[in-house]
Each structure stands twice: as C-alpha cells, then as structure tokens.
Structure 1
Amino acid sequence: MQTSLLLMALYLSIPGGTQAFKPLISGGGSITHRDITQRAVLRKTAEVCRALAAAQGRDFSLPIDDSLSIIKLQKACSADSSSSSLVSTILFQSAIVKMYLSNALVDMAFALSKAHHFDGETFQGGRALITAGVSEVKASVKRGSFLLARLALGRVCHTLQDFYSHSNWVEMGNRQPYSTLIRPDLQLVNLAGPSTPTCRSCMGGNCTDNILPEVLQQGLLTSGYFNLFSSNKPAGKCSHGGSFDRTSGRDPEGGINKDDVGSSHGHLHHTAADVAVNATMELLEDIRGAAGDKGFLRLMDITQSSVLCFVIDTTGSMSDDITEAKRVSFSIIDSKRGTQQEPSSYILVPFNDPGFGPLITTTNADIFKQRINALTASGGGDIPELCLSGLQLALTAAPPSSEIFVFTDAPAKDTALKSTVTALIESTKSVVTFMLTDNLRSSRRRRRRSMGGASAVWPSQGGASNRMAQSDAQLYRDLAQASGGQAIEVTKEDLHRATSVIEDASDAAQVTVLQEVRSPGKAENFSFTVDESMRNLNAYITGGSLSFTLTSPSGVSQSNSEASGPLGTIQTVGNLHRISLTTHNNTGLWEISLNSLESYSLKVIGQSSVNFGYHFVEAFGGAHGDFGLKEGRPLTGDNITLLVSVTGGDSVTVTAVALVEASGSGSEVNGTLQLLGGTGGGDFLVTVARVPQGEFVVRLRGESNSATTKSSPSLFQRQVSTQIKTSSISVTAQADSTLEPGSTISVPFTVAMANGTGGAFTVRATNDRGFTSSFPASVSIVTGEGEAKGTVTLTAPASTSSGTDVTLTIEAESAGAADLNYAILRLSVVSKVTDFTPPQCGVVSVSSNCPADCGASYWQLSANLTDGANGTGIDRVTLRQGNGTLNTSTEVGTGGENVTRIEYSATCCSKKVELVVVDRAGNVGVCLGSVKDSVGVVVSSTAQASVTNTTAVPVVSTTSTGGSPLTLSLYLRICVMLSLLLWKRVEL
C-alpha cells in the first residue's frame, strides 16, 4: 500500500505524465474532458427541454448543436423566456462544474488504475466501473441525492470518454458509440487476445498507421499499455505513447492515444472527442430514462429557484415559532406556486431533546405543508436541545449554496458538533440564519409544556432575565457569521415581522453584493456598487445600540431614524434592521456609515442574473499540468488556485477576483485570471500568490454591458458570503465512493503539518446518518516524518435503502484547539445490482380506425411489459410522447412472472406513442407505437438504440381506415407486413 502511494505521488509530481483527454485546460485546439462533458450535458438537456416544451404546447426553437450555451439553454428551458424575465444560470452552471471537476478528479485519485482509463486492454474492468457507476447514479437520483449523483456521473463520464481516446475504436472506422460499454447485459466481443500482436513500431516517428492491418480488418478491439516505471508489456502490443510512457520505447515503439492534437494518434483527436460526446449523450439518455424528464432536469439543476429549508425546535415553548414557520412557508408556497420562483424542493428537520429528525425532503409543496402543519410544540425539561445535529442533517441534505433557517429559543446541547457544522458550512457554502426568540424578553416567563400538559417555569438568571446566556447565543452568532447569515434575536410576538428575510431569500436569482462583520464593533464606512442588473435590493444590519447613515451615488442620505425616506424603507425588529432600497436611477457607488461598540453584521443582497461561484482546486503535474478539486481549508501562507464560474452571458467582463480578510483590516489579495477556453465561456482559473491570514471571503468585480448602457459599461461587484479559514494542518482522505447495505468501509486518512513540525492531534469522525464508526481518538506526527496516518471504519446498517447518501467528516485539531482542518467524503449506499436486462414489451393487440376526420376516431394499443423471470420487476411506466390515455394493471404471467398490462388509447390526430419502462434496478426499456392512415399500427420495443432485433407481433384485431371489416386476403397481407415491420427491438 505504501509503495503504491509513493509511486502515485511520484507520478503526479512529474509534469505531462498522464494518459487521458486533458481534464480542464485546453491548448492548441485540443478538446478536454470538461468540453466533452459540458457539450453532452447541454445537448441532452436541450433535448429533454424540447420534449417537455412539446408536451406543454410551448415553442422550443433553439438549435441543438455546438452553439449551445448555458445562458441560451436556461432561457429556452424556462416557461417564461421573455426578454424582460430575470434568468440566473448559477445553479445549472454549478451542477455542470461539479460533474466535470469530479471527472477531472479521476486523474488524481486513480492515476495508476488501468481500468479507470481503459489502458492495457482492461475492457472488462473498465466496463464494470461504468456499470457500477451508472447504478450509483440511478440509485442516488431515485433517492433525491442529486449532488452525489452528479459526482458519480462525472467519474463515470471520465472512464467512458477515455475509451475513445485510448482504444482503437475510431481507428477501425467507428463513428458511433460502442453501446455495449453501458449495456452490461451484452457481451464484449472481438477483443484482441492476450497474445495477439496489435501494433508495429512507428516509422520515423509517424504513428498514424502503427496498428496492424489485420487487427483493423478483423475488427479486434485493443488499447495501449502504459507504465511510468517499467518498459514491460506483452509482446507485440500497442503502447499508450508519450514521453513518460516507458513501454512506448519498447518494440513495438510509439503509441495510439488521442488525448490531444499532439498525441501519437493526434490526427484522430477531434474524431475521438466527437464520438466521446455522443457516447456521453447516450449514457445521459439512459439515465434520463431511469430518472424521467423532470428528474433528469433536477439532476442537472436547471432551475431558477432555490430550496426552502427549515430546521425547527419542537419543544414546548416553541408553539409561537412553529406557527410563524407555518405561516411564512405557506405564504411562500402559495404566492410562488406555478411560477419560475416556486422552490425547487422543500426540506424540514425538526429537533428537540433527546432526538432530531426525521429529515423530510420533497418536491411536493402539499406534502411539505402537511409535514410542517403536523409539527407540534411539546416536551422539554432541560433547556438545551440538539440544534446542531438537526442543522448538520440539513446541511448535508440541502444542495450547496442553500439558505437554511433555524428556529429556536434554546441553547445547543450538542456543542461538540460546532467544528463539524462549520466544516460543512465552508464546504457547501450554504447560508444559515438563526431566528432566536426569547419570550421572557416580552415580560413573560419561559415555559415548557411537558408531554402531559403540565407547565414548568424556569427561573431567570439572577432573578432578572432568562435570556439565553451570551456564550450560548454566541455559538449561533459564530455559525451565522461563518456562513454569511444572520443571528436575528427577536421576541416571539415580533417574530412575524422578522421573517421577511425568509421571503427575500426565496426570490429567484439572489446575489450577495457585500457581507461584512465586525466583532467587536467600531465606527466604519462601507461602500458597495449597485449595477443596472440589480433588482429588489435589500440591506440587513444586525446588532444592538447602533446607528447608521446610508448615502446614494447622487449624494442623497438617509439615517436609521428615518423609517421611510428618499432611499428606501427601514424596518427595525429586535436586533435586525432591514432596509429596502430604492435603486431606480441610483446605480453606482453607495456608502453606509455604521457606528456601534457592539458586534454587528452588514449584508446587501438583491436579484440579478450576474453571479459567480467558486471551488478551490490544486495542480497535479501528472495530468498534463492540470487541476483537480481540493477539499478542506487552504494552507496558511500558501498560494491557492480557484476555479471561478461567472454567470450573466457575454455582456459580463471580470476585472478582479480577490480574497478579502474578514476581520475588517481592509487587506485583500487579488488573483491572476486565466480564462478557460472551450465551451465554458464563463470559467476562470484564478491564482492567488498568498492566502490571507485567518478568515477571508471571495469577492468579484467586473463590468456589465447591458442593453441600456451600450455606450459605457456598468460596474458590478459580487461576493460569496461564506467565510473561509486557513490552517497549517492538512487532512486528506480517499475511499471508494460506495458501500453496500450491511457492509463496512475503511477510509484511510493522513494528517500533516504544512511547516513540517510534529505534534499530537485530536481526531473526530462524524457522519450525518448515525452509522456506526470507529477511528483513533488522536494521531501524532513525529518531527521529521511529516505526517501521521489513521483509518476510519464506517458500517451501513443492512436495512439502509439503496441510494442513501452519507457524509463523513474527518477532523484533526491541534493541541489546545489552536488549529483545525478537515476532509469531507460523500458516499453512497448502493445495493448490489444483478439485474441488467431491460424490460420487454410484448404487444397483445392493436387496432385503429383513422378516417380523414382524425379527431373523431381513435386507435388503441394493448401490451404486456415484463422484466423476465429473474428480473427485479417493473417499477414505473411513463408516457414520454403521445396525447392519449394510459392505464396500467398488474397480472401474473403463464410462467409465474409479474406482468404489467398497458392499455393506451389516443385520437388518430396523435399518431405516435413512446412509453418509457423502468425496472427496479434502473434498467430502461422503451415501447414505440405509431398509427398510419390506411395502413394500421406500427409498434416497436427498444431497450436502448443500436442493436436491432425483429420479432413478430401477434395482432388480435385491426381495422382499416374505412371502418369496414378486413377481407381475409388483406388481413393476411397486413399480418405478414406487421410480422416484418411491427415488433422491432432496438437496443442502445
């Protein structure tokens, strides 16, 4: 194990050493994994949006080709695609980024794995990885674990795409995908034998024809061998090629890879990339079939809205709070239902003591209403509750960059989870706002009703007030500050006046313009730029004993004493000051002067299509000097690279990306920008030479050329609110992405110090599912050795549902809690899949009577759907195309198998039907039917689409377009024709 890790580390330290399409950065006109993945995702998503638009009677005229962009597709997929509508692509773009960063990570995590790259003729191993990965994607989508599904999909795409670069598939003249790679029910055929020579040495360095002619003539499939350390390879076999492939110097010399235009077979690079795009689309089509069109779009996160996520204390004194949570959630649901701003999903986590949960996540607003309406305030006794446990569950369940609202009036009992929750906040970049209520502030005694209905009165501290202790409240303030949220402290009577921040957050296309925190408070002037794309601008100030003055770009001012003034309206409730700004003709530089000796926070938000997201990445020399995703906190004093994705279309120009110290020192470090080529358009690599000390935020500035400012650009600024800390500790961990129910996984981790010193470190490993785990309580680094290792074991109960996600957080903390870093792993629990056969469609009867007046006549289709005697059974039948009526029922077949009977009826104006059939293992079959005037019905069954089998269809009865009974001769002729044409099974 140590030897292999050492070899991998050496390999990754050598520039230009890997064997794959380049992950992210293109050069010399080459196509990257990023380009291939994004092109395929955009095209397939466009196809799904076009199908949904047709079903809804909407126009979809966007060409589906390489001209597709994220912003064009987002607009076309929107039900409201008018030029005046506000379109934000940040969620869609972030989903794509997650996929191609996970794709790139394969080159880091599995650099020496032959199967992950289809090297050395490991076709069975590569196909097995694809099969397992697709099962993970489908199981995760079915459970609603879309983030994990995206990560798994990215890994699968890397291996699938590498096949077309590393094998001789395109050299054999193939320009279509090798569908067998995603069809484990089909056999891999024509594989070159282990002793079959496949290549000859390149002549004069020209490798264009080094594959043996007989290999190409016989259609034998081979791939190149690669080894960084040894020249050994089977006699006569092709090599991968390249200066760091030592096998390429051994006879037969040269290589066959098509990784870029300068590779051994670089003349076929673009051909291989094109086929890889089509293969990725074919894979996405299979996943679309299993997920359904709406499920597929949720996987791609092509939505304009965010989630509505509540974490609610349900103990006895929370009755008023729960009532207000119901009111505000119902208001949001009812006002936005059916619009582009309707929440994409709803998440609810109740907590009390001694329990928390269950987690409730749904896309159905009515179900969410039922669940939150069922909450009651009861129980209690001791004041502290399991608030952080509930918040941890919400942070791992909600999509990244979500707004999470916590309602409580009690301190947290599980304060040991603070560092874990902080790590999850940093990792997900989610914003957490605490609604803290204390009914004794309004001269009422805090009471908690027991389960039996009796009241318990808790004495106030010092006999004067029972306010939450400052140390307890500070925990919530710290977490809110780390996330860019607020800790809003109000009375229960005034809570309804403070929940306007929840309604603000539920608006689509929310962006943060400025976020500042001062602790302790001081007098300070802040400035922020408002651009013409901004709508519904709000400023939040939280803190006590403060005063402020707001000044517009035109010099007009308004103080906090003016509830309604020239610049907006100010609402004060508890420690919250909400300012609704009037931005009409007030674009430009605003200023706000704040004065308080107490801690305070300032946040300015609004709605705009211009936004950005970022991920930390790190260079790995072995993959063409490219970059992969980096988890955890950046190292103190080190340089750092960010992948920044900017939304807003071609009108946006980025001028600066900076890391800004959160302490208020005014220090910020600008990065060097590199625009990534290819189809992304809005992606930048930003290199920062020095990470600021302590906490910092990421801020972006630029120019926007809107339709109304063609003569001069409008300046804008945006900020990601999450505060990031630095650390001198490094924590790394790597594990398989899945485990089976009832199994145990071992996760090795490494703790190191950036300065090479030693020491003892406390280790904590927590997971959000409560799975049994074990880990060392501490590790020690001996000075001079540089690192310490440990292992976390995690066991999934046998009862765990397939597709369940689990987030494992591993923390290492230095002595005295002076420093901390973490690694976060997201794993899937997936049951072993043994059913790989798609469902079958057998027609029982078809009939039609289609005269000239199509609207007055109907045609019918009756068919039996089966999944075979050893299958998992039919799970779902959906109507993808057709305007008719579909009914299903279940029967038992002659062989004892379960049979799903379908009855479909449509007018003769709707002449085609497409039924998607999914079994419980996620295998997809498609039944296609169509009626032709004066001919009859044509029906076919497809599992996917490349191998075609023809089977006769038994026709019980059919009628011609005139409605008269068919003559025997005509009937026989039609039966013969149908036997040749009707039952067609096309398989992908």
Structure 2
Amino acid sequence: MDSLAAVAVFLLLGTLFQPPQAAAFKPLHSDGSLTHREITQIAILRKTAEACRDIAVDQGREFTLPINNKLTVASVRAACSNSYAALSTLSFTLAVAKIYLSNAAVDIVYLLTDPPHVDNEAFIEAQDIITQGLAAVKASMKQENYNSARVRLGALFHTLQDFYSHSNWVELGFTTPLRNMTRSDLPLNNLAGPKTPTCKSCNGDDCSDNILPEILQQKILTTGYTGLFSFSKPTGKCSHGGIFDLTSRREPTGGINKDTISSQHGFLHNRAANLAINATMEVLEDIRLATNNTAFLRLMGLSQTSVMAFVIDTTASMSDDIAEAKRVSFSIIDSRKGTSEEPSEYILVAFNDPGFGPLIRTENADIFKEKMNSLTASGGGDAPEMCLSGLLLALAGAPPSSNIFVFTDAAAKDSELKSTIEALIESTKSTVNFMLTHSTSFRKRRSVSERQSSSSRAMSQSEIQLYRDLAHASGGQVIEVTKATLPQATKIIPDTSTSALVTVFQVVRNPAKAENFSFVLDESLSNVTVYVTGDSPVFTLYSPTGVSQSVSEGNGALGQSSVDFHFNFVEYDGNRGDFIPKDSRPLTGGNATLFLSLTGGATVTEVLLVNASGSGAVNGTITAVAGTEYLVTFDRIPEGAFLVQLNGLLIASSMSTRFQRQSPTQQRSSRIIIMSQTQSLIEPGVPFSFIFTVNSTTTAGNYTIRARTNRGFKLSFSGSLSLGIFGSAQGSVTVTAPSNTEFGTDVTLTIEAQAPGGTDFNFVTQWFIVSAASVETSRWQLLTSYLKRAIHPFPAENHGLSLEGADSHPNLFTLSHKHPKYALEVTA
C-alpha cells in the first residue's frame, strides 16, 4: 500500500471512532434506577430458572419457583438444585458477577468510543460488536472456555442494553426488542441519514417532545450525539444529554437518553430498562438453543461443584507418584459418581523437561481416566523440571477458585515464572497444593535402566521455599513426604475436592514463634479440620468449653458451609456512583474499594484486611449495594501480603450466632501502578498491540517489563521502561496468534512491571478470545460500516458492494460501490 492510500484509509477508518460518549445505564449502582448490573442479573436469573424448569419437566418433576424480575441468586440456586446435581451457590454467584462486572467495565474502558454505547448513530458498528461477540461466546463454549465466554458476554450485553437507553426505539412506540441488533444476517432499516435532522430544542428542562414529529411518524431510528470535550455535532441532531455532554448545550439543546429516572427522557427509563432485560434474555435464549441446557448452566456456574485439577511431573523417578495420583483420582471419581459431589470438571497438565502440557480439560470422567492412564514416567535429564510452566497452564485454564494439586520430586527449572504464577493466583483466587516427594533425598532422574545407578542433587531449601511461597500465597499447602508415605498425604485431595468448602482462619509465620490464635466456628459449619504445617510443629487446640486436642490426635474433614463470600477490588467513581473491577494490585498505603458478595443467609458486620504475617488489620466501612452485595471502603491498604476477613451474623440462626470467614488467597499491595486497555477479541495472524501505563510512586530508574501468555503466542515488547520518582511511562505488548488458531480459543496475557532491584512488582491480567475474522474481513467490515452510515438510504441488494483482493498481497483490495445514484470507489 502506498503512503497516500495508507493516509486515506487511516482517515476514513478514524472517522468511525472519534466523538466521545458520556454515559449509559449506570453500571452497578444507582438509587432508584435500574442499572446494567440489575438488568443483566434479572435476565440471567430468569433464563437460568427457565433452563432448570425445562430440565425438571423433562424429568417429570415439578418446578414451583415463579419466574419474574424478583428472583435472587439464592432462590434460583435452591430451585435448580433438584434439577441439576449439587449446585454451588458460590460458583453461580461468581459467574453472574463476572458477567455483570465485564458489562460495567465497558463504561470506563471504552469511555471515548461510540459503537459500544450506540452513540452518534453508530448502529451498524454496534450490531457488529453484538453479533461478533455472540459468535465468540458460542465458540468459546464449544471449547469449554466458560470464563472467557462470560467476559465477552458481559461486554456485548452493555452495547445491547445501551441501544434501548440511547436510541429512540422506545419513543417510536415499540414494545418488543429489535432482533436485528443481534442478527448479522438481518439489515438495520430506516436509519436516520447523516444529514437528517432528528430533534428540536427542549422547552427549558422539559425534553418530553424534543424528537421531531416526522421522525416519530416515519419510525426513523436515531440516537443522541455526545461530546465530553467538544460542543460539535451534526446540524439538527439529538444529543445524549446530561451535564457531561457538551453537545446538549448546542441547538438543538437537551437530550434523549433514558439512563436513569432523572435523565432528560427518564420518564421512559423503566420501559427502556425492561426492553433491555427482554433483549438480554433473547440473547441468552439464543445461546441456550445453540448449545444445550447443560452447557448453558455451566456458563452460569450452576453445574460446577468441585473441580479436580492435577499438574503432574512425568520424569523417570515419578512412577510411584503417578500411580498414587491415579489411585486417589479414580477413587474420588468412582465413589462420587452420580452424587452431589461428583466433580463437574477435570483438569490435567503433565510436565517434564523440556516439555509441558497440553492442558487437558474435560467434563467426562472416562476421558480423564484415559488421559491419566496414558501417563508414563520416563526421561528427565537434569533434576529441575518445567513445573511452573505446567502450573501456569492449569491456573489459566481452570475455573476461578479451583483447587490445584501439583505432584513433583524436583525443583522448578522455570523459577522465573514465579511472579506470573503469583499474578494468576491473585487474579483467579485459586488454591495450589504441592505434593513433594523425596524432597530431601537424592533423586534418580535419568532413564529407567539408569535409575539405580545414577542420581542428582536433592532440592535445596531455597528451591523448596519457592513452592512454599506460592502455596502460602494461594492458601494451599506444601506437603513433603517420602514416596512410601505419599498415600497418607493425598488424603487432603478428597477433603478439598468438594463444593461448599470455606476458609475460616489462616495465618503464616516465618520464622515460627509460640503464639495463641482465636477463631470462630459457627453452627453452619460441618466437618472442620485444622491444618498446621511446618518443621515438627507442636500445638494444642482448645474449645471455649475447655476441651483440648493435641498434635498427636487427628480426625475429621475440612470445614464446609453454605456461608461464603467472594470479592473484587474495584475502581470507584463517587461522583457517578459507579465502579468496575481492578485487574492489578491495589496501591500500598492508598485508599481502596472492595465489592463483596455474600452467600448462604448471613449478614456482614465487619470486613478487615488482615496482615498475612502479623496481627495488624485495617477495618473497612460497609455500604449495602443490593441484597447480599456490599461496597467496602478502606482508607489504607496494608503493605505486603494480606487476607480479606469477613465477620457477621447468621440470619437463619435461632440466636445471633457470629461467623467468620477468610479468603484463602493472599492479596498483595504494590507501590507501582500499572493500567492497560481491555481487548476481548483478537484475530489470528494479525498482530495486536496492548497499550499499558506504569506509574511509580517512590523509586526512580529502569523498571523491568515482562509479558507472557498461557498459549505461548508470539509477543513483542520492550523489556524495560525508564521512570522518574512519581513518573509515568507508556509501553505496549504486541500479541500475534498463529494464523491457524481455532476460533474461540481463550488466551490469558499477563503484563508485569518490576521496580529496580526487584523489590516490588505489579501486574495486569487480560483474558481474550481469538476471533474468526481475517485481515480482509475486519477491514471490509469497517469500511462497509462507514459506507452504510455515510450513504442513506443504502441499497439493499448486497449493499451494492464488491470486494476484490490480491492473493499475494492480502492488505491490498478494492472496494467498489456500484449504484447509478451513488458512484464511489475506494482503493486501499
């Protein structure tokens, strides 16, 4: 492409995305108005209840739950529990929250972009966002990538729902959703042309009749224009409206948005919100029909009970360990088949040296058994193995809050991945347990015939400490045993491979010291176990009644309860009352806001950030958002590692019984601030650059930059950024998915920034889906979208467009629009 053509195309495409947008339905919280969170949750709960009702009908059972807009997570889960085995309230809550938090994030991430908000009459582009996103969701579900599907689903919901608030669909008198917005094969008709006047100025504060009568009579579809930094808009066009929209002060004044009941068309807010609920339900029904009820309930987190996830070293000395992993996993599968505790998913990653993977993820226990039986111990060479590389695959591929078990008798050869593993642990809140055998004796690491004559060094304490650090950060254990006593240690696996598992209290001390700890056991708990690990620990447990139990006595299983919680640190905008999830560590010493969701019939009285290695704690201020969801604000974040602790009262208790829970996963603060753009779709074979910014609050110098994907995709980035004290620098990471990457493949990208001297680091984690679009398809869509907006009315027959491309130069093509009234040819 010559330079002149490149400039012309750049300007052409640039016109699609220049004007900024101001607002939408409030993302998560708004007094008296329906928010994106409520619209999304209502639609999900109704459609999930319908799926469970259909299952019940097929099984000849009654389903008595009324399906309406007043459903709750708890009521739907309870009603569905007879239709689908052992549904976990927490996994359901996590899935729903992931969808509506991804929805809310669009308001910040795409603040200055029109199509995601259907502003500035960007109907065609918005339709593309919705239809391409829906295709990506279905493709991800086909590959069982449910977490990525939830992220993409939430994002497309935002655009779909904004259509009903930002367009005049409601004002035109329509009472059902516009299905064409979700169908790529259906055209959007009767769109306002770029020069068609659509509004008149409001009469003071009264904007109830500011849409022109001819627009209403002819059923012409339009939206408001908006500008955060400019008063400019096409002559005669409606504005979005509101104090942040500068275009609403220019003739015609006022606006037409229905984001809240106080908006300038707020008298139609409830009608717009109800249409948005129905449209969201239609998309969910489309997904359900394209897959099945089982897959749909998995998307909603309702079928997830426990997840069995193993990461196994397959070098020559591991034959006994592999046999034990097979024994314990097969025992769990066989004993729980058909019960409420049957695992809903199986994860397996093998590693050796230099190989690791692939990730095997299946719902089918027989397939998992087959893959486990195919594992053999062989090879190895030198002692260290690719342990962390295998663990990275498992963390990125397993559902959030999974328990992962790592079997090895070797040090990690890829210890440089420690920070990436820490980032994924904090992001996914999964627990990692290491089963280390022969950790203090010589290991035979060569061929089977050499195992009795050749040996290599044992793991050093520093090598073992790497595993301890990762386990402690996740709330897991490092269990060091001989191969002969491994069966005794693996008893932890069936105990923790269960739903409704909660953490009441945990603390780490290094170095160890004599100390007393107090914690609360409430009446909702059953099967409680206390784990005390370390070098020859000595301890005694005392109950309030004076009964004691010493280190020599052991009995019981882990604590299980329906009362649990999950949380996300969020960015909170007090002016608008909105917030979106943070994808990095909070700032050390700074204030922060936590979004917390509680399950199991309880109320929160106190939320603390407890120092992981000391007795210090920071108390938060609790504000109820809705139901069992809360915003918790902290005026200070502890330095280093900390745990989130929740105290409260059981609602169902006959007395005011106290309860206590802690997050198993440690969180950490940082003095580095790192932020990045969000991108949910990338194309195979097309480089995409993620822009990120690093801010320093203390240390000046060269900051080390690292970036990795779980798929091993080609990455290009600068290894360092230079920052001054309280300075800022921008970098980019270019990701290229191989051209043969399957549509729907999920990818996890972690970008890290480390301070000079390695004293501190922070990260951002991005999850995205590889789309089916090619270079030609993508550019074709952008150009045709522009032409559809620029030329009105547009010819219906194939839009009169043709595409001719040069096979040897896929970036060169000719776009022709052949119509006697509109002569146009664009060559790029």
Percent identity between matched residues is: 57
| TM-score scaled by length of structure 2 | 0.89
After TM superposition, give the deviation of residue 631 of structure 1 in Å. 1.1
Query: Is the Cα–Cα contact under 8 Å of residues 138 and 290 in structure 2 kept in the other structure?
Result: yes
Q: Deviations over 1:629-654 (max 9, x none)?
A: 111111111011010010013xx111
Q: Which residue identity does 1:824 align to in structure 2?
A: T
* Match among 507, 521, 529 for residue 512 of structure 2: 521
SS of residue in 1 equivalent to 2:763: strand
Instruction: Map 1:694-705; keep pairs closer than 5 Å.
Output: 694-705=640-651
| Other-structure match for 2:227 | 227
| Other-structure match for 1:434 | 434
| Other-structure match for 2:404 | 404
Query: Is the Cα–Cα contact under 8 Å of residues 86 and 340 in structure 2 kept in the other structure?
Result: no
| Other-structure match for 1:644 | 596
Q: Which residue identity does 1:687 align to in structure 2?
A: T
Q: Following the alignment from structure 1 to structure 2, what is the Cα–Cα distance between the partners of residues 229 and 348? A: 52
Q: Following the alignment from structure 1 to structure 2, what is the Cα–Cα distance between the partners of residues 204 and 313? A: 73
| Other-structure match for 2:584 | 632
Query: Is the Cα–Cα contact under 8 Å of residues 697 and 725 in structure 2 kept in the other structure?
Result: no
| Other-structure match for 1:797 | 738
Quick check: 1:214 aligned with 2:214?
yes
* Match among 447, 462, 467 for residue 444 of structure 2: 447
SS of residue in 1 equivalent to 2:207: coil
| TM-score scaled by length of structure 1 | 0.75
Q: Which residue identity does 1:20 align to in structure 2?
A: A
Q: Which residue identity does 1:659 align to in structure 2?
A: L
| Other-structure match for 2:28 | 24
Q: Following the alignment from structure 2 to structure 1, what is the Cα–Cα distance between the partners of residues 195 and 444? A: 81
Quick check: 1:131 aligned with 2:127?
no
User: Given the superposition, is the C-alpha separation of residues 456 and 379 from structure 1 closer, same or farther in structure 2, using an over 3 Å criterion?
Assistant: farther
Q: Deviations over 1:342-385 (max 9, x none)?
A: 11100000001010011110000000001001111111221100
Q: Following the alignment from structure 1 to structure 2, what is the Cα–Cα distance between the partners of residues 348 and 540? A: 26
Quick check: 1:108 aligned with 2:51?
no
| Other-structure match for 2:146 | 146
| Other-structure match for 2:810 | none
After TM superposition, give the deviation of residue 86 of structure 1 in Å. 8.1
* Match among 623, 629, 637 for residue 674 of structure 1: 623
Q: Following the alignment from structure 1 to structure 2, what is the Cα–Cα distance between the partners of residues 62 and 629? A: 32
Query: Is the Cα–Cα contact under 8 Å of residues 641 and 686 in structure 1 kept in the other structure?
Result: yes
Q: Following the alignment from structure 2 to structure 1, what is the Cα–Cα distance between the partners of residues 86 and 132? A: 40
Instruction: Map 1:77-92; keep pairs closer than 5 Å.
Output: 77-79=80-82, 88-92=88-92
Quick check: 1:658 aligned with 2:608?
yes
Q: Which residue identity does 2:173 align to in structure 1?
A: G
| Other-structure match for 1:567 | none
Q: Deviations over 1:220-275 (max 9, x none)?
A: 11111111122221121111111121111111111111000100011110111011
Q: Following the alignment from structure 2 to structure 1, what is the Cα–Cα distance between the partners of residues 42 and 120? A: 28
SS of residue in 2 equivalent to 1:100: helix
The answer to which structure has the higher strand fraction is: 1
| Other-structure match for 1:772 | 714
SS of residue in 2 equivalent to 1:260: coil
Q: Which residue identity does 1:168 align to in structure 2?
A: N
SS of residue in 1 equivalent to 2:502: strand
SS of residue in 2 equivalent to 1:797: coil
User: Given the superposition, is the C-alpha separation of residues 429 and 245 from structure 1 closer, same or farther in structure 2, using an over 3 Å criterion?
Assistant: same
Q: Following the alignment from structure 2 to structure 1, what is the Cα–Cα distance between the partners of residues 121 and 715? A: 38
Q: Which residue identity does 2:624 align to in structure 1?
A: L
Q: Following the alignment from structure 1 to structure 2, what is the Cα–Cα distance between the partners of residues 736 and 400? A: 20
| Other-structure match for 1:580 | 556
Query: Is the Cα–Cα contact under 8 Å of residues 620 and 626 in structure 1 kept in the other structure?
Result: yes
Q: Deviations over 1:34-77 (max 9, x none)?
A: 00000000001111111111112222111110221111111111
Q: Which residue identity does 2:451 align to in structure 1?
A: S
* Match among 560, 574, 590 for residue 607 of structure 1: 560
Q: Deviations over 1:110-132 (max 9, x none)?
A: 01111111111111111111112
Unaligned stretches of 5+ residues in structure 2: 1-18, 779-797, 799-828
Q: Following the alignment from structure 1 to structure 2, what is the Cα–Cα distance between the partners of residues 86 and 133? A: 31
Q: Which residue identity does 1:153 align to in structure 2?
A: L
Q: Following the alignment from structure 2 to structure 1, what is the Cα–Cα distance between the partners of residues 455 and 203? A: 92
After TM superposition, give the deviation of residue 509 of structure 1 in Å. 0.6
SS of residue in 1 equivalent to 2:303: coil
User: Given the superposition, is the C-alpha separation of residues 330 and 167 from structure 1 closer, same or farther in structure 2, using an over 3 Å criterion?
Assistant: same
* Match among 671, 674, 681 for residue 728 of structure 1: 671
SS of residue in 1 equivalent to 2:734: strand
| Other-structure match for 1:827 | 768
Query: Is the Cα–Cα contact under 8 Å of residues 42 and 70 in structure 2 kept in the other structure?
Result: no
After TM superposition, give the deviation of residue 749 of structure 1 in Å. 1.4
Query: Is the Cα–Cα contact under 8 Å of residues 477 and 486 in structure 1 kept in the other structure?
Result: yes
Q: Following the alignment from structure 1 to structure 2, what is the Cα–Cα distance between the partners of residues 467 and 373? A: 28
| Other-structure match for 1:66 | 69
Q: Which residue identity does 1:39 align to in structure 2?
A: I
SS of residue in 2 equivalent to 1:321: helix
| Other-structure match for 1:818 | 759
Q: Following the alignment from structure 2 to structure 1, what is the Cα–Cα distance between the partners of residues 645 and 241? A: 43
Q: Which residue identity does 1:667 align to in structure 2?
A: G
SS of residue in 1 equivalent to 2:221: coil
SS of residue in 1 equivalent to 2:436: strand
Query: Is the Cα–Cα contact under 8 Å of residues 87 and 302 in structure 2 kept in the other structure?
Result: no
Q: Following the alignment from structure 1 to structure 2, what is the Cα–Cα distance between the partners of residues 724 and 47? A: 38
Q: Following the alignment from structure 2 to structure 1, what is the Cα–Cα distance between the partners of residues 683 and 299? A: 23
Quick check: 1:781 aligned with 2:723?
yes
Q: Following the alignment from structure 1 to structure 2, what is the Cα–Cα distance between the partners of residues 699 and 528? A: 11
Query: Is the Cα–Cα contact under 8 Å of residues 225 and 239 in structure 1 kept in the other structure?
Result: yes
The answer to which structure has the higher helix fraction is: 2
After TM superposition, give the deviation of residue 136 of structure 1 in Å. 1.5
Tell which structure's C-alpha radius of gyration is larger: 1
User: Given the superposition, is the C-alpha separation of residues 742 and 87 from structure 1 closer, same or farther in structure 2, using an over 3 Å criterion?
Assistant: closer
Unaligned stretches of 5+ residues in structure 1: 1-10, 461-465, 564-569, 571-578, 582-604, 836-869, 871-988
Query: Is the Cα–Cα contact under 8 Å of residues 382 and 445 in structure 2 kept in the other structure?
Result: no
Q: Which residue identity does 2:416 align to in structure 1?
A: A
Q: Following the alignment from structure 2 to structure 1, what is the Cα–Cα distance between the partners of residues 507 and 65? A: 42
SS of residue in 2 equivalent to 1:531: coil
Q: Following the alignment from structure 1 to structure 2, what is the Cα–Cα distance between the partners of residues 735 and 693? A: 28
SS of residue in 2 equivalent to 1:447: coil
Query: Is the Cα–Cα contact under 8 Å of residues 108 and 620 in structure 1 kept in the other structure?
Result: no
